């Protein structure tokens, strides 16, 4: 186990030597996990998973920025042996990001596949690949121009005298990732690294700008608090994203109180819990988050309090985010007792 942690740790360290990211981001980044790492496809408790995020931000500065994502993934082998390939995961994803009065929008449809290998009794290693179709559009109709002002009064009926037209562009993305997951009796550990835009696609609406590759490193460690029968946990988390000279660092943790830990192997009992936590997005925001899991559903809420140089304009109001996840089974695999005749 320690050998694999060291290997992936060295890889993440190598890619974090230089340094805010240019792509979309969620504070609840580990909800739609295939936007975090394609290797997450099919890595779950259960047979399939459906996830949704919605984020709304910068409400006090301009037209709010809104981002929504949907994803579904499943595993299709579900072998318990560590001989041969343990499982194969597949995932479909969609997100839509709309920005400002011009409604600058990006829509993405993605498909991912992962190979999952059971290394030891409690450790999995997975490798994933993802292809994505992206479309960008911009709408000029609602923009205001200086030629439409008479003194201090705006007149939308006046011509803008601008030659810009509504535009769109499309491109294909290639992404990949590696994920290591260990679930011991008392602690759970996850570490991964992913690469996005590996093909450096041209994506510009007004130019042929190439989208730079992006590297994502992430880790979490669920630690039991108290004695062996304690239901309290603390989970420190780290997310590092690098794209050219831009970088984003999110670090913090959540306190989790289990109401029921759930069955580890039989799926007879489903885990339920609530958690609260706080993160710091370096140089940008403090994130307050909370969530609850019950009967295979998990709902999460978070709020970003802006502390960057924009805080004077935003009044520290950053973004609000809500998420919903469902982990399901295709069939009930619980052992059933036969009633005597």
- Write down the pLDDT at residue 137: 83
Can you give the residue ranges of every domain in the chain?
2-328
Kindly report the backbone phi and psi dihedral angles of residue 7, in degrees, each rounded to the nearest multiple of 5, phi listed first: -60, -50
For residue 64, pLDDT beyond 60? yes
- pLDDT (mean) for 225-234: 88
As assigned by CATH, the class of the 2-328 domain is mainly beta
87 beta partners:
116
User: What digits encode the pLDDT tens for the residues 33-61?
Assistant: 888 999 999 998 888 999 999 988 766 55
Q: How far apart are CA 223 and CA 233, in angstroms?
A: 5
- Give 68-122 pLDDT, tens digit per residue: 999 999 988 766 555 567 889 999 999 998 876 666 788 999 999 999 998 888 8
Stretch 157-184: mean pLDDT, rounded? 82
Nearest by Cα to 320 from 285, 294, 296, 293: 285
pLDDT for 42 = 92
Q: By the 8 A CB rule, do 219 and 30 touch?
A: no
Pairing of strands 123-138, 167-183: antiparallel
The count of other CB atoms within 10 Å of the CB of residue 121 is 8
List pLDDT tens digits, range 284-335.
889 999 999 998 899 999 998 888 666 555 556 668 899 999 998 887 655 5
pLDDT at residue 254 tops 90: yes
Confidence of residue 16 (pLDDT cuts 50, 70, 90): very low
Average pLDDT of the chain is: 81
Backbone angles phi, psi at 121, to 5 degrees: -55, -35
* Cβ-based neighbours of 142, under 8 Å, separated by 6 or more: 101, 102, 103
- Whether 260 and 293 have beta carbons less than 8 Å apart is answered as no
Question: Is the model's pTM score more than 0.85?
Answer: no
Q: Is the dihedral of CA 6, 282, 19, 243 positive or negative?
A: positive
């Amino acid at each position: 186990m320690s050998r694999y942690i060291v290997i992936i740790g060295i890889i993440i360290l190598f890619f974090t030597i230089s340094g805010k990211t240019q792509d979309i981001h969620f504070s609840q980044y580990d909800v739609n996990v295939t936007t975090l790492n394609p290797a997450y496809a099919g890595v779950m408790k259960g047979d399939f998973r459906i996830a949704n995020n919605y984020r709304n931000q910068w409400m006090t500065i301009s037209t709010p920025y809104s981002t929504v994502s949907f994803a579904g993934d499943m595993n299709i082998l579900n072998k318990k042996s560590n001989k041969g390939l343990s499982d194969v995961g597949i995932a479909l994803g969609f997100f839509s990001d709309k920005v400002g009065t011009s409604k600058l929008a990006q829509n993405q449809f993605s498909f991912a596949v992962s190979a999952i290998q059971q290394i030891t009794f409690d450790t999995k290693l997975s490798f994933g690949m993802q292809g994505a179709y992206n479309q960008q559009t911009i709408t000029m109709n609602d923009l205001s121009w200086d030629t439409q002002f008479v003194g201090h009064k705006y007149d939308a009926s006046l011509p803008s005298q601008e030659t810009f037209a509504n535009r769109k562009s499309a491109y294909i993305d290639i992404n990949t990732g590696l994920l290591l997951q260990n679930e011991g009796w008392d602690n759970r550990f996850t570490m991964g690294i992913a690469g996005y835009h590996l093909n450096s696609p041209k994506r510009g609406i007004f130019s042929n700008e190439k989208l730079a590759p992006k590297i994502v490193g992430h880790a979490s460690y669920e630690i039991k608090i108290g004695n062996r029968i304690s239901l309290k946990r603390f989970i420190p988390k780290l997310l590092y994203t690098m794209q050219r000279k831009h970088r984003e660092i999110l670090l913090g943790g959540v306190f989790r109180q289990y109401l029921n830990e759930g069955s580890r192997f039989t799926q007879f009992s489903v885990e339920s819990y609530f958690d609260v936590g706080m993160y710091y997005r370096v140089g940008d925001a403090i994130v307050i988050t909370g969530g609850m899991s019950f009967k295979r559903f998990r709902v999460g809420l978070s709020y970003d309090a802006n502390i960057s140089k924009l805080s004077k304009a935003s009044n520290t109001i950053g973004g609000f985010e809500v998420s919903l996840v469902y982990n399901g089974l295709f069939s009930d695999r619980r052992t059933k007792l036969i009633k005597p005749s």
